[in-house]
Amino acid sequence: MRKLLSAAAFAGAATMSVPLAAQDYADEYAPVAQSGDLASLSEKLGDPDKQYEMAMMIQTMTEVLLDLPLAPLAEAAAEIAGEDPARVDPNLTLRSLSPQSSDVPEKVGRAVPRAMGAVAGMAKGFEAMLPALREMADRMEEAASDY
């Protein structure tokens, strides 16, 4: 039952809709990423203020997810498994399923700026590699046409 509840909890959390704040960030970063303007993307992702904002937003979202009521989902999972749904704790949350998870939001908050900085660096490096990659693609196309 515990495995089923954990799976149900994960599925519930994974299928939640994206909060408006997260959507704002997606609206801001997606067009830049899709445009191929890696310098601009690198600049946005490397901005310490943006990194802090994103870290706080994701840290807050993680806190909310840990305290999300899971009893209705767990009751449905218990019913499907042929178990008594009345045995499900009505105060069930991800945090109560995994008490050691309480430190996860802070860890996420610390990791987000580092991850954004790493992606910014990769974007900058990839941009520097683009001319060489284009030249390589041209040579490969040329070599393939010989066959």
> Average pLDDT over the chain, rounded to whole?
82
Using 50, 70 and 90 to split pLDDT, how confident is the model at 133?
confident
Whether 68 contacts 98, CB under 8 Å:
no
pLDDT score, position 18: 45
pLDDT score, position 134: 87
How many angstroms from the chain centroid is the CA of residue 105?
Answer: 13
Cβ neighbours, 10 Å, residue 79: 12
pLDDT in tens, 80-127: 999 999 999 999 999 999 989 999 999 999 999 999 999 999 988 888
How many angstroms from the chain centroid is the CA of residue 42?
Answer: 18
Distance CA 96, CA 124 (A): 42
Structure tokens at 144: 């393939």
Whether 117 contacts 45, CB under 8 Å:
yes
Using 50, 70 and 90 to split pLDDT, how confident is the model at 32?
low
Distance CA 88, CA 133 (A): 56
Smallest CA-to-CA distance from 29 within 49, 52, 51, 45 is with 45
Using 50, 70 and 90 to split pLDDT, how confident is the model at 48?
very high
pLDDT score, position 20: 52
Smallest CA-to-CA distance from 57 within 83, 33, 28 is with 28
